[in-house]
Structure 1
């Protein structure tokens, strides 16, 4: 599957979702858990999932499963 480049608006969206998940679940942004979360969010967005609610739900599920 071809991954699309991330544009500035999408990057802002990813940052918001990532920051919210880290704050809510007390994830240190420099931790391996945070790195994995960020990679999965970017991957999902590049594959076409650019809906904030869907990304937030994914981040929530990932944070709870750690």
Structure 2
């Protein structure tokens, strides 16, 4: 599967979802949990999850499963 590069608007969306999730679920941005969250969000976006609500739901599920 070929993944497309993340464009600036998508990067802003990823940053917002990541920042919001880190605050809401008390995830230290320098932690392995934060790194895993970031990687999963980027992968999900590249695979088609381009809606903020979808990404936020994914972040919530990941945070609650840790």
Same fold (TM over 0.5): yes
1:13, distance to aligned residue in structure 2 (A): 0.1
> Structure 1-normalised TM-score?
0.97
1:2, distance to aligned residue in structure 2 (A): 1.2
Q: Match for residue 42 of structure 1?
A: 42
> What CA distance in whole angstroms lies between the structure 2 residues aligned with 1:64 and 1:45?
20
> What CA distance in whole angstroms lies between the structure 2 residues aligned with 1:4 and 1:47?
9
Q: Match for residue 30 of structure 1?
A: 30
1:45, distance to aligned residue in structure 2 (A): 0.4
> Structure 2-normalised TM-score?
0.97
Q: Runs of 5+ in structure 2 lacking a partner?
A: none
The count of aligned residue pairs is 66
Q: Match for residue 60 of structure 2?
A: 60
1:48, distance to aligned residue in structure 2 (A): 1.3
Q: 1:26 is paired with a residue of what secondary structure?
A: coil
> What CA distance in whole angstroms lies between the structure 2 residues aligned with 1:59 and 1:4?
21
